[in-house]
Amino acid sequence: MNDDFRRLITAMLVAMAVFLAYRYLIEQIYPTQPPPPAAADPPTDGTPQPATTPSQQTQTSTSPSQQPATTTSAPGTPYILTAGSSVEPIELGGRENDAIKVELRPRGAAVASIRLTARDKKGKLQYRTAPDEDEPYQLLGPVDDGVYEHLSFNTHRLWVKDGESRSWDLDDLVWTVAEESAQHAVFSTTLRAADDSGDLLRVTKSYRLWDGKPVFDLDVTIENVSGRELSVSLEQDGPIGIPAEHQQYDMRRVLAAQFVEGQVKLAKAQQHGALQTAARNEEPIGLLTSEGPLLWTALTNKYFGVFARPMPIAGGELQNWVQNVVGTVAVPGAAENPGDLLARTVTASHDLPPGETVAYPFEIYAGPKDAESAGAANAVYADKTKLYYQVSMTADTYCCCTFLWLQEFMTWLLSMIVVVVRNYGVAIIILVCIIRTLLHPLTVFQQKSMFRMQESMARIQPKMNVIKEKFANDKVKQNQEMMRLWSEEGVNPAANMVSFLPLMLQMPILVALWTALNTDPHLRHEPFLMLPHWIRDLSAPDALYTFPNPIHIPLLSWMMGPINSINVLPLLMGVSMWLQQKYMPKPHMKAKLEAAKEQRAQGKKPAGMTPEEQMRQQQMMMYMMSIIFPLMFYKMPAGLNLYWMATNVFGIFESIIIRRQLEREKEKRKAAGPPPPKKPGMIGRWLKRMAAQAEELQKKADELSERGGTPKKKKKKDDDRR
């Protein structure tokens, strides 16, 4: 009983170590999302709010229409930026046939929010805030740190070189609304001398929505209205404030893609932790490499993304005006993660003669990042040789042993099944059955190879025990005899490694299926079998019952956070996992039990753990792993738990079928009698040759020892005599 208790404790400690290692790895890949900070009321007057970030310099208004310039060098002629008087928001889109609704703010001439308003043929919103609501999904929103409200697509800073280099921050500036319509808005400001001696630059910022598409154009135009040539550049911010879709892990990232050797390549994918550390050290992370020109930057979460594509300017190529893209955060001092990841595009200096203008155009796509949705907005978004937005999904894969094209194929196959069955939950089960059926020959080969290897080793186990006992004090001779035995019996110990080859071939397919189910936006808010109170959202835990307040369970809450609901699917998955392991063929244990009985009959005591003890230990490990895995998957989306459970159930029936096949083959071999001795194969001949060489070397060593030792020892003896 003491031994059993000790093994149980060992199994629990091992399982706990596995779980903690899993938690640590996942936390490194997907940091836990903290609760969002409480929202503060936006400013209601024209007074700019002070920035709290190190990169944003506070500006104070001297009048309703003017703000002082902020320079980075010794000031020459003082210049100020003109400001508008209205801070009322402007809404673009949101009508019946519009795919998005964009709210703009004059402060910063920036995007306060983007909502997805596209509806299906039945008039239902395609992307909602919650399964039971009819509110459009807010893809972007303000990031409020309690003092300052950070918005998307701010023009962070304007640089002007006129003998000396000076800059002006535009984040806080209240721009003048120059034009406004349902699909188009233009903001403007002028950089003029403080003494009204003349204007230097006129900056305009325009937004234009595409008809029926989740796309809009953003143009920042600078016009030289002075009488001399100037050198200008900008720092243009990207999107900010995307929600964290995953309830357990933060999958938000800032990305950049480049065109490298005719292919779209993901240059960098940064999460909040690294960006925040870099921002605190005032060392923003560069998102570009020297391999090729920039294609786009993006801010993404589990399902959606906002992609900013810089367009070529007139008379130039794309790489001639984008100097760099840096990743940072808007609130580096925050203790929590407010979703303030930010990609900032830095333009190269542009020489601007008097009366000339330069425009920095961007094309913004806001929506799901899968190929189908992106390609519906614009074919080039899904083109592998053009923009290929779905390459952003490679940052979401759990490991590197799969391929994006395989993941896309799984998503396509799932969508084809849904066309027939009309339910994503049922489609997941059918897809698992299809994939596992296609992989069944590999599984049969793997399990039968393993079975035959274990059966062969079990058959010669008594002879191996005799060799171990006979040469217990001579490991070299013991290994020689073992190799000779394997050669004579036609047993290849390396065959056990070959049996894992089918598993390695299956791994990319199964991981691609897993990743496709985890990142497919079509599963979002999709129910399973229209059950009224269970599995109403395949992209979230099944939550049979949601607690009014989260429950904190000692140790468990420390490992997996507070328990918000009773999730049944992970528990059913654990049961299916236990059953699958139970029905897995285990011929080696039966053979060990029979060999142990023979030894006891001969009055010999087995060395080490008895087969019964080994079997009990394996059973304990099986029980513990069947508990640990449900804990790992407890807060995973219901679709993934459904997939894993369906895989286990299929594996149970597969193991039962394979066990019956193996039993029939065994009965046939028993009825046919002992087979004629097989000629040793290539591995057998190699083992026999190795055993013979080892024996020859041992003989030479013995002869030298009998003649007085090795040459070195003999020389030492001669030296001692002298």
229-233, 473-477, 592-596: range with lowest mean pLDDT: 592-596
Indicate the pLDDT class of residue 507, thresholds 50, 70 and 90. confident
Residue-wise pLDDT for 660-708, tens only, equals 887 887 788 777 766 555 555 555 566 566 666 666 766 776 677 666 6
Q: Tell me the per-residue pLDDT of 260-287, one tens digit each, with 9 for 90 and over.
A: 888 898 888 899 989 999 999 888 899 9
Among the listed residues 243, 251, 249, the one whose alpha carbon sits nearest the alpha carbon of residue 136:
243
Cα 621 to chain centroid, rounded: 29
- Residues 699 and 690: their CA atoms lie apart, in Å, by 14
pLDDT of residue 475: 75
| 442: pLDDT strictly greater than 70 | yes
480 compared with 329, residue with greater pLDDT: 329
- pLDDT bin (cut points 50, 70, 90) of residue 40 is very low
Check: CB of residue 333 under 8 Å from CB of residue 52: yes
pLDDT at 550: 82
Does position 232 have pLDDT exceeding 90, yes or no? Answer: yes
Residue 394 token pair: 């490679």
Distance CA 274, CA 328 (A): 9
Q: For residues 468-478, give the mean pLDDT.
A: 77
Nearest to 233 by CA among 257, 259, 207, 201: 201
Nearest to 6 by CA among 609, 632, 628: 609
Range in 196-205, 212-221, 405-414, 477-486 with the lowest mean pLDDT: 477-486
Token couple for 221: 């135009």
Least trusted range by pLDDT, from 533-542, 618-627, 665-674, 692-701: 692-701
- Percent of the chain at pLDDT exceeding 90: 30
Q: Secondary structure of the chain: what % helix, strand, coil (to 5)?
A: 40, 25, 35
Mean pLDDT is highest, among 52-61, 214-223, 446-455, 508-517, for 214-223
Question: C-alpha distances in angstroms, 385 versus 365, 375, 690, 695?
Answer: 18, 13, 55, 63
Statement: residue 383 has pLDDT above 80 = yes
Residues 94-119 pLDDT 10s: 888 899 999 999 999 999 999 999 99
Cα end-to-end distance, the chain, whole Å: 65
CATH 2.70.98.90 is held by the domain 66-396: yes
**Tokens representing residue 548 in the block:** 């009014």
Q: What is the pLDDT of residue 338?
A: 87
217 Cβ contact partners less than 8 Å away, ≥ 6 residues apart? 206, 207, 208, 210, 361, 362, 363, 364
Mean pLDDT of 473-481: 76
Find the DSSP H helices in 51-166.
Answer: none
Residue 387 has pLDDT above 80, yes or no: yes
Rounded to 10 degrees, the C-alpha dihedral 491/493/499/503 comes to: 170
Between 336 and 153, the higher pLDDT residue: 153
What is the average pLDDT across 401-415?
83
Alpha-helical segments (H) within 74-138: none
- Give the DSSP letter of residue 393: G
Token pair, residue 400, equals: 């590197």
Residue 83: which of 9, 218, 174 has the closest Cα? 174
> Does residue 4 have a pLDDT over 60?
no
Residue 465 has pLDDT above 80, yes or no: no
> pLDDT, tens digit, for every residue of 211-227?
999 999 999 999 999 88
Q: Which long-range contacts (CB under 8 A, 24 or more apart) does 293-296 make?
A: 293/258, 293/259, 293/317, 293/318, 293/319, 293/322, 294/256, 294/257, 294/258, 294/318, 294/319, 294/322, 294/325, 295/257, 295/258, 295/259, 295/264, 295/387, 296/256, 296/257, 296/387, 296/389
